[in-house]
Amino acid sequence: MSDTKSPALRLNGPVLLQQLRELGEIGADPVAGGRTRVALTDDEKAGRDQLVAWMRELGLDVQIDRIGNIFGTLPCAPGARDAAGAMPRPLMMGSHIDTVINAGALDGCYGVLGGLAVARAFRDAGIVPSRPITVVAFTNEEGARFHPDMMGSLVHAGGLPLDEALDAIGTDGARLGDELVRIGYAGEMAPGTLVPHEYLELHIEQGPILEAEGLEIGVVENLQGISWQQITVQGNANHAGTTPTRLRHDAGYVAAATVAELRRIAVESGTTLATVGTMQLEPGVINVIPRKAVFTVDMRDPDEQRLTQSEARLADFLTKTAAQEGVRISTQRLARFEPVMFDAELTAAIEASAKRLGLSYKRMTSGAGHDAQMIARIAPAAMIFVPSRGGISHNPREHTDDAQLVRGAEVLLDVVARRLGAGQ
C-alpha cells in the first residue's frame, strides 16, 4: 500500500471523536464545568469500564496488572517471530484517562483513544500486524489523589516498587491498593510483563507554542526534568498589632519571600520554571502572625544541570532565611525526574510522517510530564503533539479542533503502519 489514507488502512475519525465525547461525559460537572475522574474513584472506574468495553468490541486481549494499568492487545499472526527468533514484543501506544479536578476532555484520553483508533484501522482493514499492537491506559498519571504522579507507568518501568505504590495514601486518606480492589482493577499480571518494542504517545500540547506559530504537529524530542517539594515553615504565632517586625518569626512572610525568590531563580536561569501551586497558613486568622506555612514547589527545566543548580539555590535561600527570621524550615521530596531525550529514530519517523501527510510541524520540548518519559527508561519512546487552543489545559476550556485531533491520529497511524511494514 502507498500510504495510510488508502482504503486498506484508514483512520475512522468520526468514531475517535465520538469516543472522546462519550468518555468526556463520564464525571462531567454541569455546574462547575469540565469533568472530574480522579484516579481510582467511582467516576474513574466508570471511565475504565467504558474503555475496557471499547477494547473488547475490537476483539483486543485485555489484561490488567497489579497497579491497575489496562492493556488491550491486537495480536500478530500466530507463530510470528522477530529477527532473533523470539515472540515479537508489542508496539505500544497510550496515555491515561484519570484527570485533575474540573479537567478538560482531552488530556491523556486523546492518547489512549488515538491508540484505539489505530487498532481499529488495522481491524477494519483486516490487516494482521507484524508484531502485537498494545493500547495502554496507565494508572494515576495526574497524581491528583496519590503521589507520585505518572505512577502506573513508573511502576511498569521498574522505577517504583509495586508494594510502595500500593501503600500510597491519598489526599482523602484512602490506600491505593485498597481502592484498586474496591473498584475491581487490582489485576493479577506483574507490572512490566509487557515490555514494548517501541512506545508512542499522542497528546495535546497543553501549551501555546503550536497554535502561536500556526503549526499542526509537534514532534517531541525531549521532556523537562521535574522537581516537586513540599516545604514546611514553623514560626511563632503572635498579635498582628503589637509585635514589632524585628521581633517576628513570621512563617507567612518566609513563605511569601520564597515565592518571590523562586521567580528570581526562574528569570535569572532563563530556562527553569518555578511554581508554588498550594499554600496553607496557620492559624489562618487575619490579625494573627502565621505560626506555620506549608506550600509546594514545582520546578522544571529541560537541562539537568540547570535544574540541579536551581534546586541548590532554593535550598541555600531557605537555609539563610531560616536563620535570619528565626524559623524552622523542613522540606519533603514529593517527586524528582530527570529530563528525558526521546528516541531519535522514532522522532525522525514522526517527522517523516508529518511531511508525508503534508502537515506543518516543528521539533519541540514538552513542558509537562507524561507517561512516555517513564516508558523511555525501558524502550524507545517518542511523542506527537497537536495544538491546544490558547495553550489551556487542566481546565474545562481545554480545546483542540476536531480536524486537528484527527490529523494527529493520522500521523500516529502512519508512523505505526510504517514501523510495522504495513505502510509500504
CA distances from 277 to 258, 283, 295, 299 (A): 13, 20, 8, 11
CA-angle at 90, arms to 85 and 93, nearest 5°: 160
Count other Cβ atoms within 10 Å, centred on residue 12. 16
CA 142/CA 37 separation, integer angstroms:
10
> Residue 73: beta bridge partners?
61, 134
CA–chain centroid gap for 272, Å, is 19
Residue 370 assigned ligand-binding role:
no
**Does 147 show up as a binding residue in the annotation?**
no
Query: 153 and 91 in contact (C-beta within 8 Å)?
Result: no
CA 136 from centre of chain: 13
Listed as own residue / partner, the contacts of 118-121 with beta carbons closer than 8 Å and 24 or more positions apart are 118/11, 118/93, 118/409, 118/412, 118/413, 118/416, 119/58, 119/60, 119/72, 119/74, 120/12, 120/15, 120/58, 121/4, 121/9, 121/10, 121/11, 121/12, 121/413
Residue 275 cell numbers, joined: 511554581
Rg over alpha carbons for the chain, rounded to the nearest Å, is 23
Annotated binding residue 107: yes
Find the length of the chain: 424
Q: Under a CB-based contact definition with an 8 Å cutoff, are residues 411 and 220 in contact?
A: no
Known binder of ligand: residue 96? yes
Query: Binding site annotation covers 197?
Result: no
What's the farthest any 2 CA atoms get from each other in the chain? 83
Beta partners for residue 229, in sequence order: 297, 333
Residues forming the annotated binding site for Zn(2+)? 96, 107, 142, 203, 394
Residues forming the annotated binding site? 96, 107, 142, 203, 394
